[in-house]
Amino acid sequence: MFCPVQSLDNPAPIIYYPRMPKRAQRPAVLHPIQVVTRRTGVSADVLRVWEKRYAVVTPVRSTSGHRLYSDADIERLRLMVRATRTGRTIGQVAALPTAALVELLDDETAPAGRPSPRDAVAAPPTPSAAGDLFEACIGAIAAFDAVTIDLLLRRAVVALSADDFLDALVLPLVDRLRVQLLDGSLRGSHGHLAHAVLRRVLDDIVATATAPLASRDVVITTLGDHAPELDALIVAAAAAADGWRVTYAGPRVPADDVADMLELLDAHVVILSLHAPAGDRESPRELRRLRALLPAHVELLVVGSAPDVHRSSIVDAGATPLVGLGALRARLRELRSATRRASRPRASSRRR
């Protein structure tokens, strides 16, 4: 109903409509964790770690205690995933407001002369599998959960290439462990647990990836008392994944035993993992002794973070210093190519 009111100055009636009641606001839609993982690509394990350690989002709880996420939470998580794909860690971007994340990603992803991604409709980004697994492993280590660490690493073996598994997951994980053990954010017991699980997984990789029909063998051990066994196992896994028949001798094998293994296997390559400090004199001495025991045609490679420090001593001993897995892979492929060329019959021989 309405009441027409006539003004003295204006004979036309003024019509007043009654005020209608405000429409009740629609409650925000909340999503369970299964929907979030499907829309963002972030696994439930990784999402829990991101929430607990970095507070990237703060979900509400249902009456039964389950996490529920808003559309804004999902959008923020998508931005986090995109940010980690640019090379940043989740810890570097977790504290940024959503608007700052959008601006950061616009600056990094918009090519010159093209519209910004915020002006275009883009498909949901694919998450960085290695980055997600890395964060989940860190969380499982902090929780002292050996079963989850093992599960995540074995999932990564299947999900990632051999190079990505070692370069993008295992090496950063070992580096982070060393930092956290030094700064006290993890206890020694956490480090022992993580190393035990990593050692078991890497052992399995070496055993399963070693090519039984490979044409050449390689013997791998550590040099001196400073090289952790885990580093030698990482080197062994890289060589096995590259197609070599690997014999991992264990840590700190005496030079005489290494030479004996080489003779029994008729191998042509020895790889030593070295992480000795600058003042170490025993490792170069042991390296010279091993070189003297080996035939001249045997290739002696020294891999790790210390070869740059001991480069002159390594070269003087007749070995090749290599820093990092990339340099190791390149050298192994050169050796394999040289072997293939040497095994081909010459053209003159074929004509005869």
Annotate 239-291 with DSSP letters as a single string: HHHTT-EEEEEESS--HHHHHHHHHHHT--EEEEE----TT--HHHHHHHHHH
User: Of all residues in the chain, what percent are helix, strand and coil, respectively (each to 5)?
Assistant: 55, 10, 35
With CA atoms as reference, report the closest residue to 303 among 270, 267, 269, 271: 271
Edge-to-edge, what's the strand order for the sheet holding 31-32?
31-32, 67-69, 60-61
Choices 1.20.1330.10, 1.10.1660.10, 3.40.50.1820, 3.40.640.10: CATH for 31-109: 1.10.1660.10
Return d(Cα 269, Cα 263) in angstroms, integer.
Answer: 11
The model's pTM: 0.61
Percentage of the chain beyond pLDDT 70 is 76
Out of 10-14, 121-125, 151-155, 296-300, least confident range: 121-125
Return d(Cα 321, Cα 278) in angstroms, integer.
Answer: 15
| pLDDT reading at 225 higher than 60 | yes
pLDDT tens across 214-224, in order? Answer: 556 899 998 87
Return d(Cα 226, Cα 228) in angstroms, integer.
Answer: 6
The CATH homologous superfamily of the domain defined by 128-209: Methionine synthase domain (1.10.1240.10)
The predicted model gives 104-109 an average pLDDT of: 70
Q: Degrees (nearest 5) of the Cα angle 343, 344, 349?
A: 120
Q: What tokens does 234 get?
A: 């990482």
Edge-to-edge, what's the strand order for the sheet holding 245-250?
245-250, 217-222, 269-273, 299-303, 320-322
With CA atoms as reference, report the closest residue to 136 among 121, 125, 152: 152
Give the chain's mean pLDDT: 79
Tell how strand 269-273 and strand 245-250 pair up: unpaired
The predicted model gives 85-106 an average pLDDT of: 79
* DSSP-derived 3-state class of residue 218: strand
Region of 222 (left: φ > 0; alpha: ψ -120 to 50; beta: rest) is beta
Out of 80-84, 97-101, 179-183, 254-258, least confident range: 80-84
Q: Where in the chain are the domains?
A: 31-109, 128-209, 212-352
The predicted model gives 29-46 an average pLDDT of: 80
Q: What is the pLDDT of residue 271?
A: 94
Out of 36-50, 152-166, 197-211, least confident range: 36-50
Percentage of the chain beyond pLDDT 90 is 24
Q: What is the pLDDT of residue 91?
A: 73
Out of 10-24, 239-253, 330-344, least confident range: 10-24
| pLDDT reading at 35 higher than 60 | yes
Domain 212-352 in this protein, CATH class: alpha beta
* DSSP-derived 3-state class of residue 75: helix
With CA atoms as reference, report the closest residue to 84 among 136, 138, 33, 130: 130
